[in-house]
Amino acid sequence: MRNKIIGICGGSGSGKTTIVRKISEIISDFTLIPQDNYYKSAEFINNSNITAFNFDHPEAFDNELLYEDLIKLKNNEIIRMPQYDFVKHRRKNEVIEIYPSGIIIFEGIMVFSDKRIRDLIDLKLFIDTPDDIRFIRRLQRDINERGRTIDSVIKQYLEVVRPGHQEFIEPTKIFADLIIPENGHNENVLKLLISFINETNNSL
């Protein structure tokens, strides 16, 4: 039996990391693949021209490599996952060898956008969090962790992040098997998720 992929989708700041953390509190044996690691390099980006590369478009990701890697993981093969520098906006030289487990958790803002990739996912979750909450979290993260200015974060949000969410992310909600509201604090949904993981692990 091939390994199972759980796709966790949602806008920037929706709480995808929170869901992964909740899963990790109960189950330790899973492989995490962040879609962010597969961004294409954009070294020319800085605070003054932050919208010159649209990180909120499906083509911002190296979907060919991502598709190949997910197939390998599903078939229990080792991959060399890229790493991304969000301060310099480019892919790092070093990679990480990833050894697959029975459960692969694939999380990101557009994990349902590419049909080929979407069809590899066995359980699709969408984190549904209000826009204002997501923006505040993004603002705090980008300033504290990515060397951004308030003005550049606001400019990027208004010009590309918000339109990108409405055009490319929100519509993929229809592909979700489960929609998780309230930033992942819906305990009934989490119980269903944990049940799926346990059943999968027991069948491998």
CATH number at residue 17: 3.40.50.300
User: What span, in angstroms and rounded, lies between the C-alpha atoms of 145 and 142?
Assistant: 5
Residue 38 has, within 13 A of its CA and on its CB side, a CA count of 25
203, containing H or E segment: helix 187-203
Stronger pLDDT, 39 or 189, i.e. the higher one? 39
**pLDDT value at position 147?**
86
- Contacts for 108 with CB less than 8 Å, ≥ 6 apart: 8, 9, 16, 34, 35, 36
Q: What is the pLDDT of residues 58-98, one digit of tens each?
A: 999 999 999 999 999 999 999 999 999 988 889 999 999 99
- Mean pLDDT across 11-30: 85
**pLDDT value at position 139?**
93
- Mean pLDDT across 182-202: 70
**pLDDT value at position 1?**
61
Mean pLDDT of the chain: 89
Q: Count how many domains the chain has.
A: 1
User: What span, in angstroms and rounded, lies between the C-alpha atoms of 200 and 190?
Assistant: 15
pTM tops 0.85: yes
**pLDDT value at position 186?**
64
The answer to whether residue 190 scores a pLDDT higher than 80 is no
**pLDDT value at position 192?**
77
**pLDDT value at position 136?**
93
Domain coverage including residue 185: 4-203
- Mean pLDDT across 23-34: 87
Q: What is the pLDDT of residues 131-153, one digit of tens each?
A: 999 999 999 999 998 889 999 99
**pLDDT value at position 193?**
76
pLDDT category, 118, cuts 50, 70, 90?
very high
**pLDDT value at position 183?**
55
**pLDDT value at position 105?**
95
The answer to whether residue 204 scores a pLDDT higher than 70 is no
**pLDDT value at position 182?**
63
Q: CB of 33 within 8 A of CB of 81?
A: yes
**pLDDT value at position 202?**
67
